[in-house]
Amino acid sequence: MGREHWKKIWIGSAGNMVEWYDWFVYASFATYFAGAFFPDDDPTAQLMNTAGIFAVGFFMRPVGGWLLGRVGDRRGRKAALTLTVTLMSASAILIAIAPTYAVAGYGGAAVLLVARLLQGLSVGGEYAASATYLTEASDPRRRGFASSFQYVSMTAGQIVGLGLQIVLQRTMSGDALHDYGWRIPFVLGALGAAVVFYLRRNMLETDVYEAEADEREGEERGTLRALWRHKREAFLVIALTMGGTVAYYTYTTYLTKYLSNSAGLPKQTATLVSFTALIVFACLQPLAGRLSDRIGRRPLLITFAVGSTLLTVPIMTLLKHADSFWPALGLALLALVVVTGYTSINACVKAELFPTRVRALGVALPYAVANALFGGTAEYVALWFKDAGAESGFFWYVAACAAVSLVVYVTMRETRDLDLTRMKDARSSSLTTAS
């Protein structure tokens, strides 16, 4: 790819990293601030409350997907990406200054809730805007490779958050972390978002978008009416996202809590396992994305779904009995290698389903709906099963979601060779196999 392509990918990815750092740092530090906003008589109940607020953020993602997807299709990908990082910065500041339960009762939890709602709005648009931007800005022969950097940057955001957590764990006492140390990552997140705002204000629009920006059909750009013409593609996005998002959040945001709360590993060890596994996971994304440019998207998606359906229960069962760093790391890596078949290419697969005038909304809204229903609730469902004394039920739930997506992957057609500039008259019948 040329220098201009790399510049667009770099700016898009850097902003995405900060966005998802702010989103995920809530989950990774929840074990430290759960007691700050809720009564401290039941640690599991505290985690369930913070997980519930985490899930509520997901239910704002469809709203953010609709609002910011519309902005992305009508005003440009650059405008949507700039707005998302502004919302994320505001939410990080709110969490950093939220009063504790001891100071304001449930008022602090209310501030936390508002912040998560803002984050949900932001991320609801960020995923689609960055997926669309990276896909459109890349060489058509390397869309899988270029779009894989979305999950590289998403995972990098998690890695930075976990890396900061490891540093704070080793430089601050446990009491200090529970008292005020957990606020530090949110302050840094707000500062990072300010830097990204400047970068995105100066980023270049994609050629694919600009080529169609002045067409007469512009009044319907990014509208629900326009999206309805591609309703099959929208439902396809929901179905193909279902298994992937549940597996992804299980082995990323929930993994640290699972290792410490269920397997009994020290928090520091559990954090180090996640941190190390995510570094390897990030490195795998471009490799798998490039592979999809050679062999197609479907083989990777099918491999993920088969692996997740068959291996989730044994991997999660063995993780529960992992008593040290290396066994836990090995199992986590196995799980994330399987998930790579989905994460490395799902951004471009979704973007390849829709024409330019509705691409951002077409990716944003159905993806956000799927995440609200399955991704955002994964951690809460896991803790619900644990609290009910049937933790293994969650393992089967993850496997079942992957099995549903497997049916979709097997029946959908390949999207690798579609020309993004010639999709004005594309209809959903061309994207699913005939029965």
Helix (H, G, I), strand (E, B) or coil at 348: helix
- DSSP category for residue 230: T
For the segment 8-35, what is each residue's pLDDT rounded down to a tens digit? Answer: 788 778 878 988 898 888 877 877 887 7
The H-assigned helical ranges of 344-391 are 346-351, 359-370, 378-387
Yes or no: say if 109 and 37 are a contact pair by the CB < 8 Å rule: yes
* Among candidate residues 63, 269, 273, the one with its CA nearest the CA of residue 159: 273
Chain center to CA of 303: 20
Helix (H, G, I), strand (E, B) or coil at 432: strand
Predicted TM-score (pTM) of this structure: 0.85
Tokens 């410490």 correspond to 260
Yes or no: say if 36 and 100 are a contact pair by the CB < 8 Å rule: yes
Yes or no: say if 126 and 324 are a contact pair by the CB < 8 Å rule: no
Pick 6 or 181 by higher pLDDT: 181
The secondary element (H helix, E strand) that includes residue 229 is: none
Distances in Å between the Cα of 287 and the Cα atoms of 166, 291, 418 are 28, 6, 21
Above 70 in pLDDT, residue 216? no
- What's the pLDDT score for residue 432? 43
* Among candidate residues 116, 64, 87, 115, the one with its CA nearest the CA of residue 18: 87
- What's the pLDDT score for residue 29? 85
| Axis-axis angle for helices 30-37, 43-59 (nearest 10) | 100
- What's the pLDDT score for residue 434? 35
The phi-psi region of residue 263 (left if phi > 0; otherwise alpha if psi is between -120 and 50; otherwise beta) is: alpha
Under 8 Å CB-to-CB from 242, ≥6 apart: which residues? 370, 373, 374, 401, 404, 405
Yes or no: say if 31 and 50 are a contact pair by the CB < 8 Å rule: no
Mean pLDDT of 225-241: 94
Lookup: tokens for 299 = 């083989």
For the segment 41-67, what is each residue's pLDDT rounded down to a tens digit? Answer: 666 666 677 777 767 777 888 999 999
